[in-house]
Amino acid sequence: MQTYNAQDIWMPPSDIRLRIFSDSAALVRCAASTLVSQCEEAIRHRGAFKIALSGGQTPLELFEALASNDWRNHFDWSRMHFFWIDERCVPPDHPASNFGMAHRTLLAHVPAGRVFRIRGELEPTQAAEEYAAILQTELGKGDDAPSKLTFDCVLLGMGTDGHTASLFPGAPQLEEKRHSVISALRHDGDVVLPEHHRVTLTLPVLNAARCCLVVVAGAKKREALHRALTFFSPPELPIQRIRPSEGEVIWMVDKAACLP
Q: How far is the CB of 45 from ligand 6PG (least distance, A)?
A: 28
Smallest distance from the beta carbon of 159 to ligand 6PG, in angstroms?
4
Based on CB atoms, which residue is closest to ligand 6PG, 37 or 57?
57
In whole angstroms, give the CA distance from residue 158 to residue 152: 20
Q: Where does this chain bind ligand 6PG (CB under 6 A)? A: 54-58, 85-86, 98, 157-159, 164-166
Of 67 and 217, which has the nearer Cβ to ligand 6PG? 217
If the CB atoms of residues 56 and 92 are measured against ligand 6PG, the closer one turns out to be: 56
Q: Give the nearest distance from C-beta 22 to ligand 6PG in angstroms.
A: 19
Least distance to ligand 6PG from the beta carbon of 59, Å? 7
Amino acid at site 66: L
Output the smallest distance, CB 162 to ligand 6PG, in A. 10
Element (H, E) at 99: helix 98-102
Cβ nearer to ligand 6PG, comparing 79 with 168: 168
CA distance 228 to 197: 25
Q: How far is the CB of 255 from ligand 6PG (least distance, A)?
A: 17
DSSP of 29-98 = HHHHHHHHHHHHHHHHHHSSEEEEE--SSHHHHHHHHHHSTTTGGGS-GGGEEEEESEEESS-TTSTT-H
Residues 6 or more apart from 89 whose CB is under 8 A from it?
120, 121, 122, 124, 127, 183, 196, 197, 198, 199
Q: Pick the closer one to ligand 6PG by CB: 86 or 176.
A: 86
**By C-beta, is 140 or 157 nearer to ligand 6PG?**
157
Asked if residue 234 has a cis previous peptide bond (ω within 30° of 0), the answer is yes
